[in-house]
Structure 1
Amino acid sequence: MVPLSFRGHLFPAIALVAAVLALPGCASTPTKGAGMSRASTTGLPWMDKGMDPGRRADLLLAAMSFEQKAQQLTGAVPEIVPELPHCKGARHTTGIPALGIPTLRITNGPVGIGQNDCVGLDTPPDMAYVNGLYVDNAVYFHPSSAKATAVPSALAIAASFDPHVATAFGELMGEEGSRLALHVFEAPGMNLARLPLAGRNFEYKGEDPYLAGVMSVAETRAVQGKGLIAVAKHYVGNEQETNRMSVRERIDPQVLHEMYLLPFEMTIKDGEAGAVMCSYNALNGAFACENEEMLTNVLRRQWGFQGYVQSDFFAAKSTAKAMRAGLDHEMPLPQFFAPDKLRAALDAGELSMADIDTALRRRYVQMFKFGVFDKPIVQQDLDVEGGGRQARAIGVETAVLLQNNGALPLPHDAKRVLLVGKASQIYAQQAVAGGSVVGKVMGAGGGSSDVVPFYTVTPVDGLRAIYAQTGNTAVDVRLALVDDANGDATIDGKAAGFDDVLQAAANADAVVIMAGTVAEEGADRATFADKSGGKLTARGDSLDWYAPLPKALSFDGGDNAGRNSHTIAMIDRLFGVRSTTARPTHAKTALVLKDNAGVPLPARWLGTKGPAMLEVWFPGQEDGHIVADLLLGVHNPSGKLPVTFPVEGQGFMETVTPRQYPGVMDAEGIPHVEYSEQLQIGYRWYDANGKRPAFAFGHGLSYTTFAIETPRLQAPSTDGAPYRVEATVRNTGTRAGSEVVQVYLTVPSGSGLPQPPKRLVGFSKLQLAPGTDQRVAIDIDPNASHHPLSVWDASRKTFVIPSGTYTVWIGSASDRLVRAGTFER
């Protein structure tokens, strides 16, 4: 959450804090925390652990003064964390020891525990004015506050199509967050991949709302099972980074409920998330953090949400309006909920003390529920090796084998393996996470996905290690890096020409090419005419486009203007090499993609003469091991695509108008975006328009083969009971592997907008030994939180089941389905 729009006038307070931190003798002896500012809780009735959380919150509020309540409604100015005297922090609400209120500590979480409210006291201040506010940026972003396990991206987790993987991710986050004495985990993220070039797609869970919801529910339960409060974000419509602080979006209510709200509804109802984060954008006439329709009518009245709403950093834009709409906690600084503004709103009759009490009570109930009041703030060392093992185990479950014509698994007896990538790109050189930059440590990119791991595994080191593990210690793994012009190169750090790389590829027993699309919070993968971000001049949904700083807006003529790596041309020339070994080039070449989301692929790469292709997303710190495990077949790929991969020049982005993205500027320079594609995003757009993608949503191969046989639809025995879809899954190959059975439903349009040809309503992942089979049953429950049979009736403001014929489909991908049956409603 990059603070791009600071407001308020807190210079004196922040300057004072900075000055105090710089005084000699102020740095107490470092400690892992000993609850040093915590007063005795004797005589405080709300500290009775056996009491109901709501009753505890009521008793606490009754004892608080206005000044204490006001201080608790916002994050703190940068300061030494009272309970952790070795930490400077800026992601917390300072506690009140006399009342037994602990400091509430908040961390980010899309790809690990990053920005964890603990910058070392010896960190030099980085004071700077931002929108008139003097801020020590180091306290927010210094790498010393982000040391943790860097796991695969959230989109990779979704690609597993396995809630158990999301659970493992959440348990690791909960464990590390607890060890670091953190309380609030700002994830899961569940905005949809409406635009393939959106900068934060990797932090979210793909283009389908049901998949995003299932995985977010599992993550939420796991995180909260470890005692942290999970924050469902970004609520709602935060599907682009360009002008995210000011963009006004228009989304049809039916589209909103059936698509963009659906994963949030599932996470609230099924995951019981303790908190929700309102986003930066305006939606249908109101900014997200003062949108009464979303924060009160939908979230609380329709869904029954019992938790609290926190603002995204600097997303609050008003005092009384925001609190009355349903905002409870402003982060990261006292601005609109600052004491003077709250007092003015009370004096003007715009707020009552009951409004303030309601906002605080919602959060205190969750804090009592998750034990925040009852456990000391004491940090423990992280299990570095254990975290790495878990990150690796998660990563191998997330890769998607897109295509394989014999090159994979790589031969275990290979003598010469050539790894090829671009010198200006990270993919073949470093472990990859969001925002990774060539030559800089992981976590240097900026944004909420930054995690600084204790170690990383490079692609070359990973390949060498796994080859040695298989018994081949003599293999020569060489790294070739090619410049953007495809002229000069290096091989193992020595100067060479691209022709030398081509010759090395011809002579190699196996060739691995690595490419991808890095992204980060703060910018989309696109180049604009100027700093306004109002006119798109180059789309970045390509393997060729890159910007030197992924987190910053790219515009023509600027230092960060988009560049062309000519990666596609490099790959074409490598494919065209005449092999001097026993296997032809296409059968010994594997293309490993590390992507933000789906990426267009040239049609000439597809089919029997194309390369093997493996998508591994952003693998995180264990990159080298994860990818090598998969390339050598130590682990069998089992992921499925959570986003569609279009054929180059034939995708959704070719049809997007400026009003759809990046928005049309009004006379005041405010961008307006309309989701005019309505329900047709991702695979739904390809289905509705008869377009065949390179690789469809849900696609993913294996080193073995499967057959899905004898599908059957079983009608419910009683009214309102689930429909059951059954099939037999058989492993018809020679290796153990996993298959994901997917169920889609064609829903009659009824009233309102036409429905897409199909929607995902269920899936199940099965692991099978060679030659074995298993009967799978997937239920379609009309009463489930994802409303599988329903459409949103805007006039009645509810989901309704339309009359007509429903067709049930089952298969291994959205484009590999057979009809399981039909039913009438």
Structure 2
Amino acid sequence: MAGTRTQADEAREAVVEAALAGLDLDAKARLLAGQDTWTLPALPGIGLKSLVMSDGPIGVRGVRWTADDPSVALPSPTALAATWDPELARRAGVLLAQEARRKGVHVLLAPTVNLHRSPLGGRHFEAYSEDPYLTGTIGAGYVNGVQSGGVGTTVKHFVANDAETERFTVNNKVSARALRELYLAPFEIIVDNARPWGIMTAYNTVNGTTMTEHHHLVNEVLRGEWGFDGYNVSDWMAARSTVAAIEGGLDAAMPGPQTVYGEALAQAVRNGQVAEAKVDDAVRNVLRLAARVGILDGAEPAVTEHPGPVDGAGLAREIARRSFVLVRNQGALPLRPNGTVALVGAAARDARVLGGGSATVFPDRIVSPLDGLTAALPDGALTYAVGADPNTELGVADKGFELRAVCRDADGNVIGTGSVPGGQIQWMGDDLPDGVTHESLHTVELTGTFTPRETGAHTFGIKGIGAFKLTVDGTTYFDDDQRPAKDDPFITFFGAPVPHARPELTAGEPVEVSLTYVVEFAEDIPMKVVAFTLSHQEPQRDADELIAEAVEAARHADTAVVVVATTDRVESEGFDRTDLTLPGRQDDLVRAVAAVNPHTVVVVNSGSPVELPWREEVAAVLLSWFPGQEGGAALADVLTGAHEPGGRLPTTWGSLADAPVTQVVPTDGELPYTEDVFIGYRAWEKEGRAPSYPFGHGLGYTEWTYESAKVEGTTVTVRVRNSGERAGHEVVQVYLAPGEPDAGRPARWLAGFAGVEAGPGETVEAVIEMPRRAFETWDETTNSWTFVKGSYEIQVSRSITDRRVTAAINV
């Protein structure tokens, strides 16, 4: 299904077979085990260089957690999906391949194509959509783009890794039909349309078998039915059993050097537990990947001519503005020319442009909404007030901090220094400053200066496990062990910081800061990790006073723009959400501003749905997702009308009380997907509940008239006319509804879409091909796809609920 091999593929395959024949058992087993956090070992005897992997999906961080080598930061995957534009996703992939080559990376650990099963999923900003077809189509564009640049992808996390709670051990109980029609579907679309060079298997268990050992889903479905010929790498630390993993189709166990492969795998073969042919199959897959990316001597890379250079900042800005979803507009946007604007919200000044966890990269610049509007509006047109701060906890020390890391041995001798991205240290494996080894490293001191932006009591704290010493402006505030009540090594990464100091500081006056950590390595993590964080929070003024100041600024402006946001304690890898409310007093702020200014525009800076209880009280609501490094510039483009917002919702937005699927917490280690095939808009319709904003919804700055829909076979041709007064972009959506209702099937589902552009008064055609799979269901009796014959209504729509023209089809 993934396509036949070309002559070039066959030539590479011959080189792979020759290289495989040159390896003994120990070398083969060693190749399948990570040699460190991000690489597989080189084998010079067969001309194999070391394979380098790096986290994505919005940028390429490289092998070090450092700001010394900055990365372009694109908008979040939810933003990319909101463009409903596979070609734009392909262009994003081309840029990321360019970034990967610049950093010496061969394989990007992306894209994430798990589904938005429940709005509480904490990592949903890193996935695309609640709909498998939209997810797969955007993901295929992304993979095609990255691999067109000669860089491999690993589509992840295979499969049903749809929440973070107990993600390492949870047993997700999913029906075969739901697996096929929902959770496997994006992977299948990508394998079929983009031929990815890699798949990453997930931490979780599916129906009793952990995914790194899932023979049925990996060997029989992924490789057998779909014809996937790439390599299968474990999520980091997901592989648990040598024999079960190799039998289950796992090719590479990451990270190293402690893995279930290597010496353990060679010994299992010698003991007769594993056939060497199984090892050969895995090595063959790894060598094929190496040949494709050009690190196996004698094999021509899959791509010999790379695409032309891409302007990273320019593309980041374009994707951002194309992703913004205008869900409400009562004439407030675009902003009136020469009007005054009151910009409100802490997130307008300190923008959150990306999500937390492994998706983190360090761009060389971030354009905040305040930066973007200051540059776009005339002098004197813009005022700013904080209003309300979503950060109710300490965050990573960054604004105003200039820090470096000083490494010392047990005698106090300096053995190395390095820069750090703000106050966060995350050295994994051999990612250490030059000259430093794990054996010699005893303490790490974060030291430097802090120049406050505000006068008052600043709070400093620590995130991490172990012995720390915290000193600010010459005073030591903490010199002791910090041990959480819960014994969880991942608290170092995902836990809450502990406050320890509240010194009074003066704006503009630098002070010395120091945090020293006595290094200790967690025994239950199979690699050496040095990780801790210096945390900080600015003086906390009275919330009512801040809101009052914002209200006064808004009262005297023609338009008030309020930016509200989530934080990394709300949306991040490592934990799920418990509610959908905005943190802090942001809801109060919006209501107070809207009460004095009828032209209040709210910009929602979140990667996933949040509740908007004031949405009918404001003039406009614009969803900006996590917009990447150029988000503020893109926001100015859209607010001023230089460009229209191009996005449509890739997932349903509504209240938690109304959301039909909310269970993400396992019971006794198990999480049944009792909703079966009804997630997202399918579930909202089945339950008869009205969301705040439906799947596919989004407004522009012009109007569209849908004139006709013609069906020939499974091709739908739609004529639309721009009936507004300015040029615009429209996303024409086709939903398929069975003529005879069936309680076991959704009322309708997305079967295709296309974007069109037209000037005022112009008519254009959108041609949409509905895939055969849109007419099929998975039969659990025969374990096969069944083409469901009968009559269907083709609903051409602007969203799942906004149907414009219809047509009938009998198949």
Check whether TM > 0.5: yes
Alpha-carbon distance in 1 for matches of 2:107, 2:133: 25
Alpha-carbon distance in 1 for matches of 2:389, 2:258: 48
Shift of 1:750: 10
Alpha-carbon distance in 1 for matches of 2:34, 2:580: 37
* Structure 2 residue corresponding to 1:516, chosen from 560, 565, 571: 565
Shift of 1:595: 1.4
Alignment match, 2:628:
620
Shift of 1:151: 0.7
> Do the aligned partners of 2:738 and 2:792 also contact (CA within 8 Å) in 1?
yes
Alpha-carbon distance in 2 for matches of 1:797, 1:724: 28
* Structure 2 residue corresponding to 1:450, chosen from 354, 360, 363: 360
Report the CA distance shift for 1:761/1:50 in structure 2 as closer, same or farther (over 3 A).
closer
**Correspondence 1:243-642 to 2 at 5 A:** 243-373=166-296, 386-414=311-339, 416-422=340-346, 427-435=347-355, 445=356, 447-467=357-377, 472-482=378-388, 497-519=546-568, 520-526=571-577, 539-544=578-583, 565-577=584-596, 585-586=597-598, 588-602=599-613, 604-606=614-616, 609-642=617-650
**SS of the residue 1:454 aligns to:** coil
**SS of the residue 2:370 aligns to:** helix
* Structure 2 residue corresponding to 1:803, chosen from 789, 793, 799: 789
Shift of 1:478: 1.8
**SS of the residue 2:195 aligns to:** coil
Shift of 1:685: 0.9
**SS of the residue 2:798 aligns to:** strand
Alpha-carbon distance in 2 for matches of 1:643, 1:93: 37
> Do the aligned partners of 2:114 and 2:159 also contact (CA within 8 Å) in 1?
yes
Report the CA distance shift for 1:168/1:359 in structure 2 as closer, same or farther (over 3 A).
same
TM-score by length of 2: 0.76
Report the CA distance shift for 1:340/1:363 in structure 2 as closer, same or farther (over 3 A).
closer
Alpha-carbon distance in 1 for matches of 2:204, 2:106: 26
Alignment match, 1:72:
31
Alpha-carbon distance in 2 for matches of 1:175, 1:812: 35
Alpha-carbon distance in 1 for matches of 2:9, 2:204: 41
Shift of 1:458: 1.7
> Do the aligned partners of 1:276 and 1:310 also contact (CA within 8 Å) in 2?
yes
Task: Give the letter for the 1:369 counterpart.
Answer: R
| Per-residue CA distance 1:406-439 (angstroms, 9 max, x = gap) | 211112302x4221114xxxx222232334xxxx
Task: Give the letter for the 2:580 counterpart.
Answer: D
* Structure 1 residue corresponding to 2:759, chosen from 743, 746, 769: 769
Q: What is the root-mean-square deviation of aligned Cα atoms in Å?
A: 2.5
Alpha-carbon distance in 1 for matches of 2:105, 2:740: 47
Task: Give the letter for the 1:407 counterpart.
Answer: A
Task: Give the letter for the 1:620 counterpart.
Answer: G
Alpha-carbon distance in 2 for matches of 1:155, 1:705: 25
**SS of the residue 2:221 aligns to:** helix
Alpha-carbon distance in 1 for matches of 2:260, 2:67: 29
Alpha-carbon distance in 2 for matches of 1:384, 1:781: 34
Report the CA distance shift for 1:808/1:57 in structure 2 as closer, same or farther (over 3 A).
same
Alpha-carbon distance in 2 for matches of 1:165, 1:484: 32
**Equivalenced residues, count:** 648
Shift of 1:525: 4.3
> Do the aligned partners of 2:320 and 2:634 also contact (CA within 8 Å) in 1?
yes
Alpha-carbon distance in 2 for matches of 1:482, 1:566: 6
Shift of 1:746: 1.6
Alignment match, 1:98:
45
Shift of 1:347: 2.6
| Per-residue CA distance 1:183-213 (angstroms, 9 max, x = gap) | 0011111000111121211111110000000
* Structure 2 residue corresponding to 1:705, chosen from 696, 703, 706: 703
Work out whether 1:725 is the aligned partner of 2:631: no
> Do the aligned partners of 2:708 and 2:720 also contact (CA within 8 Å) in 1?
no
Shift of 1:641: 0.1
Higher mean C-alpha deviation, range 458-467 or range 511-520 = 511-520
Task: Give the letter for the 2:563 counterpart.
Answer: M
Alignment match, 2:734:
743
Work out whether 1:664 is the aligned partner of 2:667: yes
Alpha-carbon distance in 1 for matches of 2:380, 2:170: 57
Report the CA distance shift for 1:434/1:807 in structure 2 as closer, same or farther (over 3 A).
same
Task: Give the letter for the 2:31 counterpart.
Answer: Q
Task: Give the letter for the 2:700 counterpart.
Answer: S
Report the CA distance shift for 1:702/1:339 in structure 2 as closer, same or farther (over 3 A).
closer
Report the CA distance shift for 1:333/1:484 in structure 2 as closer, same or farther (over 3 A).
closer
Alpha-carbon distance in 1 for matches of 2:790, 2:382: 63
Work out whether 1:760 is the aligned partner of 2:750: yes
Shift of 1:51: 6.8
Report the CA distance shift for 1:385/1:183 in structure 2 as closer, same or farther (over 3 A).
closer
Alpha-carbon distance in 2 for matches of 1:493, 1:605: 32
**SS of the residue 2:757 aligns to:** strand
Shift of 1:779: 1.8
Shift of 1:394: 1.6
**Correspondence 1:1-16 to 2 at 5 A:** none
Task: Give the letter for the 2:587 counterpart.
Answer: I
> Do the aligned partners of 1:91 and 1:107 also contact (CA within 8 Å) in 2?
yes
Structure 2: 5+ residue stretches without partners: 1-6, 302-307, 393-452, 456-540
Shift of 1:385: 9.7
Shift of 1:692: 1.4
**SS of the residue 2:348 aligns to:** coil
Shift of 1:390: 1.6
Shift of 1:819: 5.2
**SS of the residue 1:52 aligns to:** helix
Alpha-carbon distance in 2 for matches of 1:634, 1:57: 53
Shift of 1:482: 2.6
Q: Looking at both structures, which has the greater relative contact order when contacts are Cα pairs under 8 Å and sequence separation is at least 6?
A: 2
Alpha-carbon distance in 2 for matches of 1:702, 1:451: 31
Report the CA distance shift for 1:750/1:365 in structure 2 as closer, same or farther (over 3 A).
farther
* Structure 1 residue corresponding to 2:778, chosen from 784, 792, 795: 792
Alpha-carbon distance in 1 for matches of 2:592, 2:656: 18
Task: Give the letter for the 1:455 counterpart.
Answer: R
Shift of 1:618: 0.4
**SS of the residue 1:355 aligns to:** helix
| Per-residue CA distance 1:616-670 (angstroms, 9 max, x = gap) | 10011112101111111111111100011114632235xx4xxx321112xxxxx
**SS of the residue 2:676 aligns to:** coil
Alpha-carbon distance in 1 for matches of 2:225, 2:631: 43
Work out whether 1:822 is the aligned partner of 2:732: no
> Do the aligned partners of 1:728 and 1:773 also contact (CA within 8 Å) in 2?
yes
| Per-residue CA distance 1:734-761 (angstroms, 9 max, x = gap) | 111100000011247899x701101101
Report the CA distance shift for 1:497/1:778 in structure 2 as closer, same or farther (over 3 A).
closer
> Do the aligned partners of 2:119 and 2:608 also contact (CA within 8 Å) in 1?
yes
Alpha-carbon distance in 1 for matches of 2:202, 2:191: 17
Alpha-carbon distance in 1 for matches of 2:341, 2:388: 16
**SS of the residue 2:78 aligns to:** helix
Shift of 1:325: 1.0
> Do the aligned partners of 2:385 and 2:553 also contact (CA within 8 Å) in 1?
no
Alpha-carbon distance in 2 for matches of 1:322, 1:823: 47
Higher mean C-alpha deviation, range 795-804 or range 628-637 = 795-804
**SS of the residue 2:311 aligns to:** helix
Alpha-carbon distance in 1 for matches of 2:265, 2:81: 42
